[in-house]
Amino acid sequence: MAEKMSVSLSGNDLLSNAFLNKGQAFTKSERRMFGLSGALPQAEHSLEDQVKAAQLFLKDLPTPLARYIRLREIQDSNETLFYALLDADIEAMLPLVYTPTVGEACQKFSELWQKPRGIFLSYPEREQMRDILANPAFDDVRVIVVSDGERILGLGDQGAGGMGIPIGKLSLYTACAGIAPNQTLPILLDTGTNNQERLDNPNYIGWRHERIRGAEYDAFIDQFVTEVKRRWPHILLQWEDFANPNAAPILERYRDKICSFNDDIQGTASVAVGAILAANQANGRKLHEQTIVMLGGGSAGVGIARLLVRVMCDEGVSEEQARRQFYMLDKDGLLTTQRDNLDVGQKLFARSDWENSQNDLATVVSTVKPSILIGVSGVSGLFKEDIIREMAEHCERPIIFPLSNPTSHAEATPEDILKWTKGRALVSTGSPFPAIEYNGKKRRVDQTNNSYIFPGMGLGILACEATSVTENMFMAAAQQLANLSPLKKDPEGNLLPPVHELKNVAISIAEATAKQAQEDGVCKKIDDNTLKDRMADLIWQPVYREYIKK
């Protein structure tokens, strides 16, 4: 039992508070003190007992979705137990509380929803927004993850069901970086949905209306930012799973008005760049010497490419030279200057020198002979055998990252990529895959998961009290992640640390982020000891405290 804690609630009010509830771990004296006698079964169980019982129950459930549902039930009733479960085996729990299982959960969220968690801000209730956010239960909130549910993973518009994403991301802030769960708040901006299946579903929990667009949408987002900033002047706001036409403009419009970032654009870029920098250590090559093919021209693809350009510029080449190393494709093929449907980010990487009448992925790969191939297309199977074999023909150690998620949307499986490259490829995926046995050796599959970046960055930002999130901070996080690569010690090692080390990774990323924030002048200067003390004060541990009556 940890330090004592003063509690004012009693009886069912205490048992209904997920942050304070201990279930059968309440001691006999606590049960008498807080009016719990009779409300709980006689036996006392420790947290360790509860974790073992929950693990046994989860093991017997037939599907990942069933395990997700059970974990959400535990989270909504006893958050300490929930995070103790994640602590006990984060590698097994991560695919359940986030990708890939969270994708299916979002699709079925209307049928799964039972108990309130977070806030649904719907467009018809926009006049009540200030009052909704004023709830005293949210007084200590420090991190918000917000989505409008329009681009959930690779699954498209899920409307109000997209709430599963903010809930899942904030679970990782706590599990990986120790941000206390009562200091996190998931928010879903319900601006309607264009998913006809959701609109036709009699159980749909959201606003049954097509999505608002244009001036109405912009005004709603502006109102949201204004009210959040008024309510929590020092909040960290993470934009999550907004559709491509909205994601980048929202980030640019508000990044200097409120301490915020877009994880799909910047977090994905940071972890991908970190993994590529680690791979370059194995290749012994500079990034600007390599040719990169990017399959996917959305916010994630452009975000990764822009951060890679910054790396190349740091190596001494001009931005124009750096951009010439990229060939970016979308569903219509290679981005070229002849196309008139490109957004601002895509235009940066449009080619003016492409003369071939064919512009598909196979043609581009055979023509430019890339050393790096990245997939953020959201479409499974696009890294076909002939394409991967062609790449391996001219590259000794090709870097191939099928990053689309959930798992069913990956451009190729790591097993196939290794088979087609005779084990020479450096592979990292966006979703979890089981370990692979190749030539008698078992290999852990690296997952280029944003959880390597955003929880630690959040911890660092809160600890140093940064007022904004700079691109340099994402670069510092990527470089620090590369420094943690097992490849540095073992030439046969993985690109990224194992998932069970995510807590240590978060601490390291937090320190790098906070130091960069000071260099960028977005927070006050603090010494290393003060920074570590502040981080330690922020980190919450999933252990039961002894309660005393307030």
Question: Would you list which residues are annotated within the binding site for (S)-malate?
Answer: 151, 405, 449
DSSP reduced 3-state for 3:
strand
The strand pairing partners of 428, in sequence order, are 446
Residue 392 has which token pair? 């391996």
Cβ atoms of 322 and 288 closer than 8 Å = yes
Q: How many CA atoms lie within 13 A of 287 on its CB side?
A: 23
φ/ψ of residue 184, rounded to 5: -120, 150
Q: Are 162 and 150 in contact (CB under 8 A)?
A: yes
Please tell me what DSSP assigns to residue 160.
Answer: G
> In the annotation, is 515 catalytic?
no
DSSP string for residues in 310-349:
HHHHHTT--HHHHHTTEEEEETTEE-BTT-S---HHHHTT
Q: One of 68, 169, 204, 515 is an active-site residue; which one?
A: 169
Cβ neighbours for 49, distance < 8 A, ≥ 6 positions apart: none
Closest CA to 48 of 1, 96, 97: 1
Catalytic residue among 22, 68, 83, 98: 98
Residues annotated in a binding site: 151, 240-241, 264, 405, 449
Q: Which residues are annotated as a binding site for a divalent metal cation?
A: 240-241, 264
> Token digits for 440?
């008698």
Sign of CA dihedral 122, 124, 130, 134: negative
DSSP secondary structure, 104-147, as one string: HHHHTHHHH--S--SEEEEGGGGGGHHHHHT-GGGTT--EEEEE
Strands (E), 266-361: 292-295, 326-330, 333-334
Helix (H) or strand (E) holding 402: strand 399-402
The catalytic residue positions are 98, 169
